Chains A and B, each alone.
Chain A
Amino acid sequence: MKQSVFEEIRIRWVILRANALFSLRESLAYSLNNWGGLASTVVYMLTYLVFLSAIFGKVKSVAGYNYSEILLFTLVTQFNFYLSWIWSIKNLDRLGEDVKSGKLDLILTKPLPALWYVTFQKVDLFMLVFEMWPATIPLIYLLLKNATFQIGFRGLILGILSFVVGHIAIHCFQFLLALVTFWTGEYRGLNGLGYQIAIFGDSLPLEAYPKALMSMGFTAVPFLIHSGLTTSLLLGKTTDIRWLFLATGVMLAFLFIKNKVWSLALRQYSSASS
């Protein structure tokens, strides 16, 4: 009997909740490691703020963004960075390891939607609560202290939509790179490259990129949506809503490709196993 849509959603929700709770228990078991993680992220944030203040000690603006606007851009990139580590990157590494070790068999034999399961195998709520917020406090403080811009309601809604759309699109791109593991058997280099490409647009705002790079960053390698377009929409520097439509189209295309290539990869996996 075919499952109803509601039943499918319910199953996915149960998987998501179970994986998140298990990940939380896993994180709490290594408390010393968590404090180390917090120290690392706080130091990273502080050193990055030192980097920004050194640059803005010499220049008034970068690509048309003043200090406070760059702080907002940094906040968006930081949210994206943490969210990626909370649910995406660790799962890509785990998928690579499972393919290499053959542990993926155990997942595939379970009566579960396998793609959903491997996408959300680890959801690190501990990082969300105890690393993301404490580490971004210095940035938020500086942002509030130096804010010279206003965010309108339209900009806020468009910005949030762009963030979500861009985040999913770049995850799919990274996932596609990770799937190459099914053919090569190695995942570290691929995931490292995927990560490096994903954060390529996190050091400069959207307006800094030449047209050719911008076209690429909005389509084939969607690294400019989650941070660049989001901040530009939030600040009202980009008002044309068609950019968001394009981004949404790209996200849907990547979701479709992710599903198709996953099926191909599984076929390769089973034929290689036999």
Chain B
Amino acid sequence: MRFSAYKDSLIFGLTQVTNYRSEVWLTIVNKFVYLSGTIFLWSIIGKSVNGIAGVTSLISYFLIANGVQGLVDAESLRFSRAINNEVKLGGLSAHLLRPVNPVIFIYSSFLGTRGVVTIMTLILIVVGFAFLPSVIPLQILLFILSLFLAFIVGFVINLFVGSLSFWTPEASHLQNVFSHIVRVFSGVLIPVSFFSGGVKTLLLFSPFPALAYLPSMVMQSKTVSVEMLTIFLSAIFWSALLLPLSFWFWRKGLKRYEAIGI
């Protein structure tokens, strides 16, 4: 019963978005313009930096990084916006009356609306793979593992930021704040290797590189470096810590919602 409810919610979301086909195409063109700009920027910077990989490697890095970040919804934190809307407009009340887990139900519906974006990000990743000279099975294995970790970290950040809506319904700007932080420190705009000293060390131990830098880096290198291992272990640590914490935060917010009926 529950599974079919989540499935229906997902299909409903997908139907909603496919009604606006021109919007879907424009979103794809928009993303293409954005990526062209990023790749152009880095092709210019790449000319000035000694030891930086070639242009094809840069293209591959940014395509995979952007693809993964979009796939796990760490780009604009849209799931947190979906939660914000449910809380702000009162739609959450209806979900609470149903015999379903509201977080999973909202997420299923949200996933449906992401159908086209998901396909687009998968294409980005595949094209990014095509720019790689060769790939070994270990890289694919590590990529799948890093993608899984990126998904958990992305989900956790979204749930945390979305749950802030219980305290301040006008949380859209807070979502922007987190979105800016994620954009710079996840490696989607600038590879983490460009940072130096304490900042880089701090970043390696943070959950952010797991969202884009790690999946993209594992595809660029055929060996597991200390840096990669550090990010892997950090991501596992943060996922194990933050996943239950984010649900606790959600429940705490929910109590407030039920008590005062925001």
Contact = CB atoms under 8 A, between A and B. Distances in A.
A60 B40 contact: no
Contacts of A203: 37-38, 41
A55 B173 contact: no
A212 interface: no
A60 B45 CA distance: 10
Nearest to B196: A57
A40 B177 contact: yes
Nearest to A36: B173
B221 interface: no
A36 B169 CA distance: 11
B22 A59 contact: no
Contacts of A40: 173-174, 176-177, 180
B49 A58 contact: yes
A33 to B, nearest CB: 5
B25 interface: yes
Contacts of B94: none
B180 A204 contact: no
Given A44-B180, A55-B45, A188-B23, A196 B33 contact: yes
Contact of A47 (B34, B172, B180, B194): B180
Contact of B184 (A50, A196, A197, A208): A50
Interface string B34-50: 10111011001100110
B181 interface: yes
Contacts of B24: 189
A203 B41 CA distance: 7
B30 A32 contact: no
Contacts of B140: none
Given A59-B48, A192-B27, A196-B33, A43 B181 contact: yes
A189 B183 CA distance: 22
A90 B195 CA distance: 36
A193 B29 contact: yes
A48 B184 CA distance: 8
B33 A193 contact: yes
A43 B180 contact: yes
A38 B213 CA distance: 29
A193 B26 contact: yes
Nearest to B175: A40
A51 to B, nearest CB: 5
A196 B27 CA distance: 11
B190 A204 contact: no
Interface string A85-106: 0000000000000000000000
A36 B29 contact: no
B22 A186 contact: yes
Interface in A12-46: 30, 32-33, 35-37, 39-40, 43-44
A36 B174 contact: yes
A59 B45 CA distance: 8
A57 B177 CA distance: 25
Contacts of A197: 33
Contacts of B40: 204, 208
B23 A189 contact: yes
A186 B170 contact: no
Nearest to B32: A196
Contacts of B176: 36, 40, 43-44
Given A43-B181, A189-B22, A189-B25, A200 B33 contact: yes
A63 B194 contact: no
A186 B184 contact: no
B41 A58 contact: no
Interface in B148-206: 168, 170-174, 176-177, 180-181, 183-185, 189-190, 194-196, 199
A51 B184 contact: yes
Contact of A59 (B34, B36, B49, B190): B49
B177 A204 contact: no
B22 A184 contact: yes
B26 A189 contact: yes
Q: Which 8 residue pairs spanning A and B have beta carbons closest together?
A: A36-B173, A189-B26, A40-B176, A47-B184, A59-B48, A189-B23, A40-B173, A44-B180
Interface of B: 20, 22-27, 29-30, 33-34, 36-38, 40-41, 44-45, 48-49, 168, 170-174, 176-177, 180-181, 183-185, 189-190, 194-196, 199
Given A33-B170, A35-B173, A54-B199, 13 more contacts: A30-B170, A36-B176, A40-B176, A40-B180, A51-B184, A62-B48, A63-B44, A186-B22, A186-B23, A189-B20, A203-B38, A204-B40, A204-B44
23 contacts: A30-B170, A32-B168, A35-B173, A36-B170, A36-B174, A44-B180, A50-B199, A55-B45, A61-B48, A62-B44, A184-B22, A186-B20, A186-B22, A188-B23, A189-B24, A189-B26, A189-B27, A190-B26, A197-B33, A204-B40, A204-B44, A208-B40, A208-B44
